[in-house]
Structures are given as structure tokens and as C-alpha cells.
């Protein structure tokens, strides 16, 4: 894969898209475009002029709902304009976004990270993120050497506000309703490659590379 490859990463919340996206980007020298991170950096942006349910992206996120398409599409189109090769993670999350994306760029790989639903709640509610460098850990599956402290930079580990059990369940419901049809859409187009997201991050990455290179 050369640096002008365009990879779309699909999968439920907690499948490991962020972890694998970073690794793929490193391996193949691609940009990572993550709408979730972009929105977390703009949680307090005033979007009241849209006249929708909430006035900031953060209010949608903390409720486990999707941020309105107008906001997210703008983020993606700006990021795509700056990228040659990319890994796109967290977008599209509904069929309208998928249609918008198809008007903006071609895709070379559409990869679906598959993890059984029963595992997702445990993965998400136990996730802890470094407040300083963004590294992720898990209280049971990938604990830091010292509880609450980042192995990489010594920063404080915190729980994402939307990783509480109630919000996780809502995010999974929204995923089933809005995003599973997107997965089905790419499957019908014949462009979907499925990779099991079970096991360690190293296991999943090996499978990923295997699928892409073979």
C-alpha cells in the first residue's frame, strides 16, 4: 500500500477502530481522520444557529447521540482536502453521511472490524484514556503499571464522559439503528472486507495487514 491509499474503518463503538487506525496510519504513512476526536476538541462549539435539539456538539456526544450531519460533514471535507492517503475512523455513521462521502472521495479499502456485542459494553465501560497524550488502557484487559497513571507519559487516566454504562448502551442502540445500514450498504457494493476484532491489538493488526496485503 502506498501513501495515497484511502482506508475506511467501520465497526461498532469499542471495536478498536482508534487503536487499529493509528497503527495502520503508522505502518503505511497515512493521515488519521477521526471525527470523534475532532468533535471532542470542539465540544463547546456554538451550533445554535442550526436550530436543532442541542446547541453544542458535546451535548449530543454526552447523550450518546449523533452530532448533526452539517457539523460532521464540514469536519470531514476539510480534513480530506488536507490528506493524500488516510484512515477514516468514525465516519460515515449514517446513510446520508455515506452518500456525502461518496461525493467527496473514492475509497480503496473498506474494512469492518467485527466484535460481538456482548464484549463491547465491557470494553467501553472499562476503557481509560490519558488526559494528556490520549493513550488508551483498560482496567482489566490492558491495565497500566500504576492505577490511574499513563504508562507512556505519566498523565492522568480518565474515563471518557460517554463511556458510562448508560451512554454506552445508547451509543450501541444508535449504532444498530443508524450505522449498521452503512455497513450493509458497503457490503452490497461488494467493497467490504471483514476482520475479526477479537483478541489482542497485535492479533487484530496482524489480521488487518494480512487482509490488506493479500
| Strand 109-114 versus strand 192-196 pairing type | parallel
Burial of 201 (0-12, 13-18, 19+ CB in 10 A): middle
Per the annotation, the verdict on 160 as an active-site residue is: yes
Q: What angle is formed at CA 54 by the lines to CA 53 and CA 56, rounded to 5 degrees? A: 150
Could you say whether residue 36 binds ligand AMP (CB under 6 A)? yes
Stretch that binds ligand AMP, among 34-42, 128-136, 188-196, 203-211 (CB under 6 A): 34-42
Q: What minimum distance in Å lies between the beta carbon of 211 and ligand AMP?
A: 22
Cell 494480512, located at residue: 210
DSSP 3-state of 188:
helix
- Within residues 180-209, the interface with ligand AMP by CB under 6 A covers none
Note whether 35 binds ligand AMP by CB under 6 A: yes
Q: For residue 207, what are the contacts with CB-CB under 8 A and spacing of at least 6?
A: 195, 196
Beta carbons of 125 and 165 less than 8 angstroms apart: yes
For residue 17, indicate whether it is catalytic: yes
Q: How far is the CB of 171 from ligand AMP (least distance, A)?
A: 5
| Closer of 38 and 150 to ligand AMP (Cβ) | 38
Nearest Cα neighbor of 7 from 86, 116, 95 is 86
x-marked contacts with ligand AMP along 69-108 as a string, rule CB under 6 A: ---x-----------------xx-x---x-----------
Binding map of ligand AMP across residues 1-20, x = CB under 6 A, - = no contact? ------------x-------
Beta bridge partners, 33, equal 88
Indicate which residues carry an active-site annotation: 17, 93, 127, 160, 171
Binding footprint of ligand AMP on the chain (CB under 6 A): 13, 35-36, 39, 60-61, 64-67, 72, 90-91, 93, 97, 162, 171
Amino acid at each position: 500500500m502506498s501513501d495515497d491509499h484511502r482506508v475506511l474503518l467501520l465497526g461498532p463503538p469499542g471495536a478498536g477502530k482508534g487503536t487499529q487506525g493509528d497503527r495502520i496510519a503508522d505502518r503505511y504513512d497515512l493521515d488519521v481522520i477521526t471525527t470523534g476526536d475532532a468533535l471532542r476538541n470542539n465540544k463547546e462549539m456554538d451550533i445554535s444557529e442550526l436550530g436543532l435539539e442541542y446547541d453544542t456538539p458535546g451535548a449530543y456526544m454526552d447523550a450518546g447521540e449523533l452530532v448533526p450531519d452539517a457539523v460532521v460533514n464540514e469536519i470531514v471535507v476539510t480534513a480530506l482536502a488536507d490528506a493524500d492517503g488516510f484512515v477514516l475512523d468514525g465516519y460515515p455513521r449514517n446513510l446520508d453521511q455515506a452518500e456525502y462521502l461518496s461525493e467527496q472521495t473514492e475509497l480503496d479499502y473498506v474494512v469492518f472490524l467485527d466484535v460481538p456485542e456482548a464484549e463491547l459494553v465491557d470494553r467501553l465501560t472499562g476503557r481509560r484514556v490519558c488526559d494528556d497524550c490520549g493513550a488508551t488502557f483498560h482496567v482489566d484487559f490492558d491495565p497500566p503499571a500504576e492505577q490511574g497513571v499513563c504508562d507512556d507519559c505519566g498523565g492522568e487516566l480518565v474515563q471518557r464522559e460517554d463511556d458510562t454504562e448508560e451512554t454506552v448502551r445508547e451509543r450501541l442502540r444508535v449504532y444498530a439503528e443508524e450505522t449498521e445500514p452503512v455497513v450493509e450498504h458497503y457490503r452490497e457494493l461488494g467493497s467490504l472486507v471483514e476482520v475479526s476484532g477479537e483478541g489482542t491489538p497485535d492479533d487484530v493488526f496482524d489480521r488487518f495487514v494480512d487482509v490488506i496485503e493479500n
